[in-house]
Amino acid sequence: MAKINFGGTEEEVITSEEFSLDKAKEVLKDETIVILGYGVQGPAQALNLRDNGFKVIIGQLEGDDYWNKAVADGFVPGETLFPLKEAAKQGTIIKELLSDAGQVATWPQIKECLNEGDALYFSHGFSIVYKEQTGVIPPDNVDVIMVAPKGSGTNVRRNFLDGSGINSSFAVFQDYTGRAEERTLALGIAIGSGYLFPTTFEKEVHSDLTGERGVLMGCLAGVMEAQYNLLRKHGHSPSEAFNETVEELTQSLIRLVAENGMDWMFSNCSTTAQRGALDWAPKFRDAVVPLFDELYERVITGKETKRVLEANSAPDYLEKLQKELDVIKNSEMWQAGAAVRSLRPENR
């Protein structure tokens, strides 16, 4: 492992220099990798594994849209694509990449397919950490491991194809074989991780649920909407409000942050922008601290997972979800966004 200094705290990370793809192939040479779920993470991890030379079997509900997507991606029914339980029976490494609610619903039949020495793999700590709610309690005679890419399945695939890889955390919850960590690292490299950093199942799910509801998605969407509505209220056009709220962030400033950090982005903006950002950042930070405290408390006590499982298990969940997404899509702000995107040179 390489030791890296993160802001004064030294951490160990693993890259393909310390754990090569050839080593991963050697570690996994006798394994049969089964991926359950071809929805969000499933396609990216399956395709990356396949492109790296690993044989992958997909388990999915026969005939649904995700099954058809797997067929379109080159997985063959009866050869590399099977119904969930039939696929799980073939695996020595079973990747649980169904939705959290899907894992709960199918766990009884998947548990029956686990053999001594198998590895049960997750990309999220949800089902294991909140076992009182999920009922997902693995048998004692299997490895329970995790590689959690720090991005959506779309970006796991994109970053693999452009050669950058996406960073992933990893953890071992249960080491029955004595090979659990080696298997975990091999799988992390095999799916194309840029680098791997250690965590625990608990820390992963607590940080992930907080991040999704906070800066990464929930907070970002809410703050954007608040600023857009403010500008519109004061007479700014939809185009101006959207460009000053979203387009400049996503097409310019966040790219500078990604390249060299927030201070570097500030130093590459006007002196007026610098001064305003430096003065107002602490105000926004302090304003949201109570919300983040509330959010984190709800995450660690399981209130957020209870909400997820109840909502996502409802028979009309997809219908209700689409209505909520359509409200966003059809709002003036994101209709303006569609118009702005259509004017980008690559879309004209």
**Catalytic sites, residue numbers:** 124
CB-based contacts of 315, cutoff 8 Å, min separation 6: none
Is residue 124 within 8 A of residue 102, CB to CB? The reply is no
Return phi, psi of residue 69, to 5°. Answer: -65, -40
Residue 279's CB: how many other CB atoms inside 10 A?
A: 9
Q: Phi then psi for 333, rounded to 5 degrees? A: -60, -50
- Which amino acid would we find at residue 311? A
Structure tokens at 100: 């959290």
All residues at 6 or more sequence positions from 316 whose CB lies less than 8 Å from its CB, including other chains = none
Cα 58 from Cα 145, distance rounded (Å): 19
- Give the Cα-Cα-Cα angle 15, 20, 25 (nearest 5 degrees): 135
* Amino acid, res. 199: T
- Cβ within 8 Å of residue 332, ≥6 positions away: 232, 238
Q: Describe the strand order of the beta sheet including 119-122 as a list of residue ranges.
A: 81-82, 56-59, 33-36, 93-96, 119-122, 143-149, 166-174, 193-198
